[in-house]
Structures are given as structure tokens and as C-alpha cells.
């Protein structure tokens, strides 16, 4: 049987970006075209992120989308 690996958003990388660019979560959410509430849910892993949204966030940050996900330690 093959084990599955879970991934979540790299919250620290996003928070670091927000601090470095003097942005609030609400400011960044507006740039992405989503609500601040939805963005918060994504950051807190209460909502699953679509690949499109992952690529949008990475594009705004100017980073590789792979840098936005981290493997969950079990």
C-alpha cells in the first residue's frame, strides 16, 4: 500500500513576504481578488487551495509555487 503525503501552505513564507512588503493580509487578498476572510482560511489551512490560487499567490510574490507548500509532519 502506498502512503500519501499531505501538504499545506507555507504560512511563514507568506507572512515574511507581507512583512517585507509592508502589506496586511487584507491588502494582499485584495491584490489576489479574494476576500480577507478567505485568505485567512487558506493561511490557517481551514480551506484547501486550488492550483490556480497557489500559482496566483506565487506569481504575486515572484516565487516558485513549490516554495509555497510544505510537507506536513505526522
Report pLDDT digits (tens) over 34-74: 999 999 999 999 999 999 999 999 999 999 999 999 998 76
**First-residue to last-residue Cα distance in the chain:** 18
In a 3-state reduction of DSSP, which class is residue 16?
helix
Q: Is the pLDDT of residue 2 over 60?
A: no
Q: What is the pTM of this model?
A: 0.86
More reliable by pLDDT, 48 or 3: 48
- The correct answer on CATH 1.10.10 for the domain covering 7-61 is no
Domain ranges across the chain: 7-61
Q: Yes or no: say if 42 and 56 are a contact pair by the CB < 8 Å rule.
A: no
Amino acid at each position: 500500500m502506498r502512503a500519501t503525503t499531505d501538504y499545506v501552505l507555507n504560512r511563514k513564507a507568506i507572512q515574511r513576504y507581507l512583512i517585507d512588503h509592508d502589506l496586511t493580509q487584507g491588502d494582499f487578498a485584495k491584490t489576489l481578488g479574494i476576500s480577507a476572510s478567505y485568505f485567512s482560511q487558506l493561511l490557517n489551512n481551514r480551506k484547501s487551495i486550488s492550483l490556480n490560487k497557489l500559482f496566483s499567490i506565487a506569481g504575486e510574490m515572484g516565487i516558485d509555487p513549490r516554495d509555497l507548500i510544505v510537507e506536513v509532519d505526522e
